[in-house]
A and B are shown apart, each in its own frame.
Chain A
Amino acid sequence: DVKVTQSSRYLVKRTGEKVFLECVQDMDHENMFWYRQDPGLGLRLIYFSYDVKMKEKGDIPEGYSVSREKKERFSLILESASTNQTSMYLCASSFYRDNIQYFGAGTRLSVL
C-alpha cells in the first residue's frame, strides 16, 4: 500500500514563527502536493512539485514556500506564521500518468 506520512497530526505555533510541515511518500511518485482545507472552501492547492527541485504555485501560494530536495520528501514552509494560516494541511502524491492522489492523514495547525 502507498504510504504518505505527515510529520505531525497537530501543531500549535505562535504568530511570526517559522513553521515546517514535512511529508514523505514511499511509492516513488513523481508528483507531490500541499493543500489546505477550510470549512466551506474545500481543498485548495498551495504548491505542487512534479520532480526533485521543481515546484509550481497553486491557487493560494502567498505566505508559503516549499522544498523538494529528495523525491520522497516535500516540505511546506510558513516563513512567518499568521493566524489566518490556521487550517488543516494535507499532503498528497501521485504518479504522473494516472494522477490518482494518495493523501497523508493531515496536520491540523493552529497559529495563536
Chain B
Amino acid sequence: SQQGEEDPQALSIQEGENATMNCSYKTSINNLQWYRQNSGRGLVHLILIRSNEREKHSGRLRVTLDTSKKSSSLLITASRAADTASYFCATDFGNEKLTFGTGTRLTIIP
C-alpha cells in the first residue's frame, strides 16, 4: 500500500502547548496535504506543500517536507481547545487521487 502513516496515533497536550505530528510515505509525490476532521464530520483541507517546497506556514500551522526522508510534519503552535480533532496527511502521486494516512487524534486539554 502507498498509504501514508501518521505518528503518533494519538496525542494529548495542554492548551497553549505546541503539537507536532508526523507523516511518512513510500514513493515520490507531487504534493502532500494535511486535513483536519472534527469528530463525526467530513475532512477539511488545511495546507498543501509541493514537492519542491521545504516549509510552509498558514496562521498557527507550520508544515515541513523532507523528500529525501519521505516525511512531513505538521506543527500547530499555541494550541487551543478547538484544535481537538483528527489530523490526516494525504499524498498526491499525480494521478488526480489522494492517498490518506490513518490519522493522528489530537486532544487539547483545557
Q: Contact residues of A with B, CB < 8 Å? A: 4, 31, 33, 35, 40-43, 45, 48, 50, 58, 88, 90, 92, 94, 96, 98-106, 108
| Of listed A45, A92, A101, residue having the most chain B CB within 10 A | A101
**Which chain B positions have C-beta within 8 A of A98?**
48
Asked if B110 is an interface residue, CB under 8 A from chain A, the answer is: no
Closest CB in chain B relative to A12 CB, distance in Å: 16
Asked if B15 is an interface residue, CB under 8 A from chain A, the answer is: no
Q: Of B33, B40, B92, which one neighbours A106 at CB under 8 angstroms?
A: B40
Closest CB in chain B relative to A48 CB, distance in Å: 6
Give B63-85 interface residues, CB cut-off 8 Å to A.
none
| Of listed A99, A102, A104, A105, residue having the most chain B CB within 10 A | A99
* A100-B43 contact given A31-B96, A42-B102, A43-B100, CB 8 Å threshold: no
Chain B 25-69 interface mask (CB, 8 Å, partner A; 1/0): 000000101010000111111001000000000000000000000
Q: Contact residues of B with A, CB < 8 Å? A: 3, 31, 33, 35, 40-45, 48, 88, 90, 92, 96-103
The chain A residue with its CB closest to the CB of B5 is A42
12 contacts between A and B (CB under 8 A): A33-B97, A42-B102, A45-B99, A50-B96, A90-B43, A92-B43, A94-B96, A99-B96, A99-B97, A102-B45, A103-B44, A106-B42
CA A90 to CA B40, docked complex, whole Å: 11
The chain A residue with its CB closest to the CB of B43 is A103
Q: Are B45 and A96 in contact (CB under 8 A)?
A: no
Q: Are A100 and B42 in contact (CB under 8 A)?
A: no
Q: Are A100 and B48 in contact (CB under 8 A)?
A: yes
Closest CB in chain A relative to B25 CB, distance in Å: 13
The chain A residue with its CB closest to the CB of B31 is A99
**Which chain A positions have C-beta within 8 A of B48?**
98, 100
**Which chain B positions have C-beta within 8 A of A90?**
42-43
CA A102 to CA B60, docked complex, whole Å: 21
Closest CB in chain A relative to B105 CB, distance in Å: 10
| Of listed B40, B44, B48, residue having the most chain A CB within 10 A | B40
